[in-house]
Amino acid sequence: MRGVLTGDRYVWQKKRLNRTFSALKENKLAAVGLIIISVLVLMAVFAPLITLRDPYEQNLEIRLTGSNEKYLMGTDQFGRCLFSRLIYGIRISLTTGVISAVLTMGIGVFTGLLAGYFGGIMDELIMRITDIVLSFPSIVLTLVIAGVLGPDLKNIIIALAAVGWTKYARVVRGSVLSIKEQEYVESAKALGASDIYLLCRHILPNCMGPVIVIMTLSIGGAILSIAGLSFLGLGAQPPTPEWGMMLNQGVPFMRRAPHLTIFPGLAIMITVLAFNFLGDGLRDIMDPRLKSKLFQKF
Amino acid sequence: MGYLLNIENLETSFNTGDGVVKAVNGVDLVIEEGEIMGLVGETGCGKSVLGLSIMGLLPTNAEVKGTIAYKGLNLTGLPEKEIRKIRGKEIALIPQNPSTSLNPVLKIGFQVAEVFHLQQRLPWKKARQAAIEMLRSFDFPDPGKRAEEYPHQLSGGMKQRVLAAMGIAGEPSLLIADEPTKGLDALIRIQVVEILRQLVLRTSATMLLITHDLKVASCLCDKIAVMYAGEIIETGPTRDILSLPRHPYTRGLIASLPSNGLVPVRGLSPSLIELPAGCKFHPRCNQAAKDCAQKHPRLEIVDDGCKVRCLFNDQNCKPEKKLFHGSFQKEAG
Amino acid sequence: MLRYLLRRILMLVPILLGVTLITFSTMHLAPGDPAELILRGRLGGADPPRQAVEELREEMGLNIPFYVQYGKWLKKVIQGDLGNSFRTGRPVLTELLSRFPATLELALLSTLISLGIAVPVGIISAVKRNSFLDIFSMIGALLGVSMPNFWLALLLMMFFSLKLGLLPVAGYGGFRYLVLPAVTLGTGMAAMVARLMRSSMLEIISQDYILTAKAKGLPYYRVITGHALKNALIPVVTYVGLQLGWALEGAVIVESIFARPGIGRYLHESVFARDFPAIQGCVLFFALVFVFSNLIVDISYAYLNPRIRYEKGME
C-alpha cells in the first residue's frame, strides 16, 4: 500500500523541494538572508577563533573605551571586549531563537493536528483556547508569564511557546481540514490505514509548507522578543553576553560610550533582518496566498 | 461611409517570465460605422487582447505595434492622457465577467452616475438622476432603490445590465463588448443577448462583439471575423460565413455547436509563446497538406466581402450543415 | 447590522471569561507558594516565618479551592474592585486610571503616525511597482520590521535629545515628551502597515473592476482614490485594530525607556515587584482594550465591506 499510494506523492514533494531551492536562488532577498544566517552560524561555531579575548574577562582600567586597534568595537563598563561579547552573543540569540521557534511550532502543530483531525469537542476546546490566548496582546502575556516564572532565558522560551503556539494551531487545523477531504486520504483510510499512519504520512507533510514559512519568520520574531524581554531584565542575567541585556546595561553610559548602545542593537537587527528576508522569500515561493498575512513583530 | 475603426497590421505581445507571448499577430480589421462586428475565437486566441489594445488598457508589460485608426486618429502611439479622452466617451468597453467587473464596495447607482458625471459633465445630482433613468430603461424594477444597492445584491443578468448601462452612458461611437456571455447559463445568456440587441437598436452604435460563442455572434452581428492564434483567419458577412465557411477552422467551429452535434475541433490551441510555423492551424487541421507546415497563408479576398487565410481556400469549399434552428434570431432592423 | 453587532458582542462573553481565568491564574504560575514569594520579596529575600506565610495565605484566600477563589475574584472584578496593590496599598483600579492617559495618548499618536506614513507609502509603492521608490521603501519597511523598537528608542534619544538637545530625554509632561516615544512606536508599526497596504493595493489593482473604472475614462488617480483605495483599505483596517494592541504592547518597553508613567511601565514594575493584584489589573486592562479594539475593527470592517454589512439575516 505504501508504494502505490505514496510513491508519486513523494516524487512530487521532492520536486517541490527542488523547486524551492532553485527559486531561492532567484529570490535575491531570500538568498541574502540565507547567506547572512550561514555567516552568523559559522561565526557562532568558530567564535573562539574569531575573537581574541574572553568575553567575560574584565579589565577595569580600560572601561568604556571606544573602538581602537586593540578592541575593534571598544569595551564596556567592565572593560570587557564588546566585539567578543557580541560574537558570543550570536550563540545565545540563535540557539534561544531557534529553540523557542521549534518548541512553539511543535506545540502548535501538535494541537492543530489534534483539533483538525479529530474534530468534535477536542477541536472546539482547542480553538476556544486559541481564541482566548489571542485576545491578549501577546507581549503582555509573555512578559507576565516570564516575569512570574522568574527572570531566566529558559522561562522566556517557555512563555513565548505558551503564547505563540496558537498561530500554528490555527493554520495547521485549517490545512488539516482541507487535506482530510482529499481523495488520497480517503482512499488510504478505506484501505485501513491507522490514524497515526495517516497523520504522519499524509497529513503532516502536506501542511508543513505554511508552517515552515511561519517558523522562519517567527525565529526573527523570537530573537526580537527574547532580546526585548532581556532588555527589560526578564531574560538573560549578567554576565551572560546576551544582546538585549547588553543594550540595557549600556543605557547609563549612552552619552560617554554610545558604542554600547549602537552595536548590540545593530547585531539584533541584522540577525532578525536575515530571518525576515529568508522567511519573506520562502513565503513568496511556497505559498503566494500567505503573502503579507503573517508577520509578527515584537 | 467611412471606416470608424481601421486596424492595420496590429501586433500585441507581452514580455513575461516564460518568454514573449504573442497574443495578436498582424491583425487587419475594418469596422464600418453602424455595423456590428463579431470577433469569434477560442479562449486564448487573442481576441480580448485585441479589444484591450484598442482601448489602450493593456498591462505595462505589453507592446503594441501597428496602427489602430479611430476616425482617422492612430490610437497606438497616443499618450495615456490623450487616450483617456477616448475611453468611455468615444469607445466604451463592456467588460467580461459581470460578477467581478463591478466594484464591490460602491453602490451601482454611483458606478453608473460616475460615467454621466465624467463624460457628459452632468453635476452629481443630475448624473444620479440620469443613472436611475438609464437603469429603468434596462428594465430594472424600482431603479431608485436598486441604485442604492451593492453589486453582490444583484443577479448575474442585472450586473450585466449595469455594465451595459455604464457602457452606453457616455454615448460612445464604438462599443466593445468583451465576452458578454462568457460563463453564463443558457437562460441568462438569452437575457444578455436581448440586452445587447436592445443596446444596438437604441443607440445605433457601432459594436465590436468579442465572443467565443458563434451562436451569439451569428444572431447579433452583421459581420464576423474568426480569430485563431492571434490572426484573423476568416472574415465576411455573417450569412456568408455561416453558410459557406471556407476555412477548416471555421467549419470546425460550426460543427462544434451544440445544434450540430458538438463535434469538437481536435487538438488544443497552440501556445502563444511558440507558435507553429506556416499556417498556424495546420497541426490541428484535418485537411493539412505538406505546404501548410511551411507557407504562411495570407488573408485573401475570396468573394464579395469575404476574406480567408488558407492555402486551399478554393478547393475545399464544401457547404456545411445549416447552422441555426436558433431560439434567438436576429430581427430585421 | 444590529443583529450582527449583538451576535458579535455575545461571542465576547466566553472569551472574556477565559481572559479573566488566565489573568487570575497568572498568580499561581509562580513556582512555589505565592504568599511565601510575596513575603520573601518584602523581606528582601530572607526566609519568612511560617506563621506569617500562613496568615497571608488565609488573607489572600489561598486555602480555599481554586475555582472558589476565581469566583470570588471575578465577582469583585465585575464590581470594579481589582484589589489593592501590594506595594502601595492603593486600589489597583485607581492606579490604572491615573496611568491610562499617558498610555492612551502614546497609543493614539503612534497609530496616527504609522498610518500617516504607511498608507501613502503603501499606495505609491503598489502603483509604482518595482520602481526605485517601491524597492527603496519596501527595503526600508523590512528594516523597520526587523528593528528592535527598544533600540530605535535609544537611537532617537541619543540623536535628538543628547546630541541635538531638541527634545527631552525622558519623562512625562507636554507634547515634547510624547514625540520620541510615539515616533518609536509609530515607525515600527508603519513598516508593517506599509507592507500590508502595498500588497493589498497590488491585489486590488489587478481586479476586473479596476479595468472597468479605467475603461470609463477616469484619470488614474481617480481610479486609485475612488475605486481601489476603499477596497484595499479593508484588510488594512483589520490590521489597525491589532495595531492598537501592538501600540499598547510596545508601550511596555517604550514607556520603560522614556520613563513615562503609563500602564505599560506600571506592568513592568509590578512584574518585578511580584505585585499580583497590579499584574492582574494590567493584564486585564490590556486584554480588554485589545478585545474591544478588535470589536471596533470588526464593526468598521463591516461598514467598509457591504458584503458583510448586508449578509443574510443582518438587515
**Three-state secondary structure string covering B197-246:** HHHHHHHCCEEEEEECCHHHHHHHCCEEEEEECCEEEEEEEHHHHHHCCC
- C220 touches B98 (CB < 8 A): no
Counted across chains B and C, CB pairs separated by less than 8 A come out at 77
Position A271 pLDDT exceeds 90: yes
Burial (0-12, 13-18, 19+ Cβ within 10 Å), A104: buried
Q: Which residue of B has its CA nearest to C208?
A: B101
- B143 or B202: whose pLDDT is higher? B143
> Which residue type is seen at B326?
G
pLDDT at A296: 29
**Phi, then psi, of B177 in degrees rounded to 5:** -105, 115
pLDDT digits (tens, 9 = 90+) for B235-285: 999 988 888 888 888 888 888 888 777 777 777 778 888 888 888 888 888
Question: Three-state SS across C19-30?
Answer: HHHHHHHHHHHC
CA B220 to chain centre: 12
CA distance B227 to C80: 76
Beta bridge partners of B207: B36, B175
Are the beta carbons of C18 and A136 separated by less than 8 Å? Answer: no
Chain C nearest C-alpha distance from B111 (Å) = 9
CA distance A109 to B305: 69
CA distance C156 to C169: 9
C151 has a chain A CB within 8 A of its CB: yes
Beta bridge partners of B314: none
Q: Which of C15, C31, C245 sits opposite A149 (nearest CB)?
A: C31
pTM, rounded to two decimals: 0.80
Q: Which of B89, B96, B104 sits opposite C231 (nearest CB)?
A: B104
- A261 or C237: whose pLDDT is higher? A261
Contact residues, chain C to chain B, C-beta under 8 Å? 207-209, 211-220, 226-227, 230-231, 234, 304-307, 310
Confidence of residue C31 (pLDDT cuts 50, 70, 90): confident
CA distance A185 to C193: 39
Are the beta carbons of C142 and A149 separated by less than 8 Å? Answer: no
- B12 touches B64 (CB < 8 A): yes
Chains touching C (3+ CB pairs < 8 Å)? A, B
- B38 touches B79 (CB < 8 A): no
- A228 or C2: whose pLDDT is higher? A228
The predicted model gives C191-200 an average pLDDT of 88
Rounded (5°) CA angle A29-A35-A40: 125
Q: Cis before residue A239, ω within 30 degrees of 0? A: yes
pLDDT digits (tens, 9 = 90+) for A155-214: 999 999 999 999 899 889 988 888 887 777 788 878 877 888 888 878 888 788 788 888
Are the beta carbons of C217 and B105 separated by less than 8 Å? Answer: no
Beta bridge partners of B62: B14
C292 has a chain A CB within 8 A of its CB: no
Are the beta carbons of B152 and C220 separated by less than 8 Å? Answer: no
Which of B101, A276, A5 lies closest to C140 in space, CA to CA? A276
- C111 or B201: whose pLDDT is higher? C111
Position A8 pLDDT exceeds 60: no
- Does residue B300 sit in helix, strand or coil? strand
Q: Which of C209, C218, C234 sits opposite B102 (nearest CB)?
A: C209
What is chain A's alpha carbon radius of gyration, rounded to the nearest angstrom? 22
Confidence of residue B113 (pLDDT cuts 50, 70, 90): very high
Residue burial C6-40, b: 16+ Cβ < 10 Å; e: rest = eeeeeeeeebbebbbebbbebbebbeebbbbbbbb
Position A144 pLDDT exceeds 80: yes
pLDDT at C9: 83
* Residue A94: C-alpha distances to residues A142, C132, C241 (Å): 19, 33, 32
Chain A residues lying within 8 Å of C256, measured CB to CB: 232
pLDDT digits (tens, 9 = 90+) for B151-161: 888 888 888 88
pLDDT digits (tens, 9 = 90+) for C143-171: 888 899 899 999 999 899 888 888 887 77
Angle between helices C2-10 and C12-29 (to 10 degrees): 20
Domains of chain B and CATH, by start = 1-90+174-263+300-333 (3.40.50.300), 93-171 (no CATH)
A294 has a chain C CB within 8 A of its CB: no
Rounded (5°) CA angle B26-B30-B34: 155
* Residue A25: C-alpha distances to residues A20, A285, A286, C304 (Å): 9, 11, 14, 41
CA distance A46 to A69: 22
Q: Which run of H or of E encompasses A173?
A: helix A153-180
Tracing cell 430585421 back to the chain, one arrives at B332
Chain A nearest C-alpha distance from C31 (Å) = 6
Residue burial A192-211, b: 16+ Cβ < 10 Å; e: rest = ebeeeebbebbbbebbbbbb
According to DSSP, residue B302 is labeled E
CA distance A36 to A157: 24
Which of A192, A177, A167 lies closest to A290 in space, CA to CA? A167
C253 has a chain A CB within 8 A of its CB: yes
Q: Which residue of C has its CA nearest to B83?
A: C217
Tracing cell 467551429 back to the chain, one arrives at B253
> Which residue type is seen at C162?
L
Q: Which of B84, B93, B103 sits opposite C219 (nearest CB)?
A: B84
Tracing cell 535609544 back to the chain, one arrives at C154
Q: Which CATH number does the domain C96-314 belong to among 1.10.3720.10, 3.30.300.30, 3.40.50.12640, 3.40.47.10?
A: 1.10.3720.10
CA distance A73 to A183: 60
C130 has a chain A CB within 8 A of its CB: no
CA distance B292 to A247: 77
C25 has a chain A CB within 8 A of its CB: no
Are the beta carbons of A144 and C283 separated by less than 8 Å? Answer: yes
pLDDT at B210: 92
Q: Provide DSSP, B32-56.
A: ETT-EEEEE--TTSSHHHHHHHHHT
Rounded (5°) CA angle C72-C93-C5: 80
pLDDT at C46: 73
Q: Which of B92, B95, B118 sits opposite C211 (nearest CB)?
A: B95
pLDDT at B212: 87
pLDDT at A192: 79
Q: How many CA atoms, within 13 angstroms, populate the side-chain half-sphere of residue A118?
A: 16
Position A223 pLDDT exceeds 90: yes
- Does residue C276 sit in helix, strand or coil? helix
Q: Which of A248-262, B141-155, B249-263, C121-135 has the lowest average pLDDT? A: B249-263
- Does residue B96 sit in helix, strand or coil? coil
Chain B residues lying within 8 Å of C219, measured CB to CB: 84
Are the beta carbons of C287 and A148 separated by less than 8 Å? Answer: no
Position C39 pLDDT exceeds 80: no
Position A289 pLDDT exceeds 90: no
A210 has a chain C CB within 8 A of its CB: no
- B202 or C100: whose pLDDT is higher? C100
pLDDT digits (tens, 9 = 90+) for C196-248: 899 889 888 888 899 999 999 898 899 998 899 988 888 887 777 767 777 77
The predicted model gives B217-223 an average pLDDT of 88
pLDDT digits (tens, 9 = 90+) for A71-122: 777 787 877 888 888 999 999 999 999 999 999 999 999 999 999 888 889 8
Chain A nearest C-alpha distance from C216 (Å) = 31
Chain A residues lying within 8 Å of C138, measured CB to CB: none
Q: Which residue of B has its CA nearest to C310?
A: B153
ipTM of the complex in this document: 0.84
- C4 or C254: whose pLDDT is higher? C254
Chain B residues lying within 8 Å of C227, measured CB to CB: 103, 106
Are the beta carbons of B95 and C208 separated by less than 8 Å? Answer: yes
Chain A nearest C-alpha distance from C93 (Å) = 18
Task: Just give the CATH number of A26-52+75-287.
Answer: 1.10.3720.10
- B183 or B132: whose pLDDT is higher? B132
pLDDT at A93: 93
Strand pairing report for B231-237 and B206-211: unpaired
The predicted model gives A250-264 an average pLDDT of 87
Strand pairing report for B223-228 and B36-40: parallel
Are the beta carbons of C192 and A141 separated by less than 8 Å? Answer: no
pLDDT digits (tens, 9 = 90+) for C46-84: 777 888 888 888 877 777 888 888 888 899 888 888 888
Which of B200, B193, B199 lies closest to B214 in space, CA to CA? B193
Interface test with B, best of C1, C134, C204, C211 (most B CBs within 10 A): C211
Residues with Cβ within 8 Å of B87's Cβ and at least 6 positions away in sequence, in order, are B55, B56, B57, B93, C214, C215, C216, C217
Chain A nearest C-alpha distance from C253 (Å) = 7
**Phi, then psi, of B173 in degrees rounded to 5:** -85, -30
Counted across chains A and C, CB pairs separated by less than 8 A come out at 147
Chains touching B (3+ CB pairs < 8 Å)? C
Residues with Cβ within 8 Å of A18's Cβ and at least 6 positions away in sequence, in order, are none
Q: Return the domain boundaries, chain C.
A: 96-314
Q: Return the domain boundaries, chain A.
A: 26-52+75-287
Position C104 pLDDT exceeds 60: yes
Residue burial C197-234, b: 16+ Cβ < 10 Å; e: rest = bbbbbbbbbebbbbbbbbbbbbeeebbbebbbbbbbbb
CA distance B22 to B43: 15
Chain B nearest C-alpha distance from C209 (Å) = 4
- C310 or B176: whose pLDDT is higher? B176
Strand pairing report for B300-303 and B223-228: unpaired
pLDDT at A14: 57
Max mean pLDDT range (A182-191, A221-230, C10-19):
A221-230
CA distance B191 to B183: 13
Burial (0-12, 13-18, 19+ Cβ within 10 Å), A161: buried
Beta bridge partners of B64: B12
C20 has a chain A CB within 8 A of its CB: no
Angle between helices C12-29 and C66-78 (to 10 degrees): 120
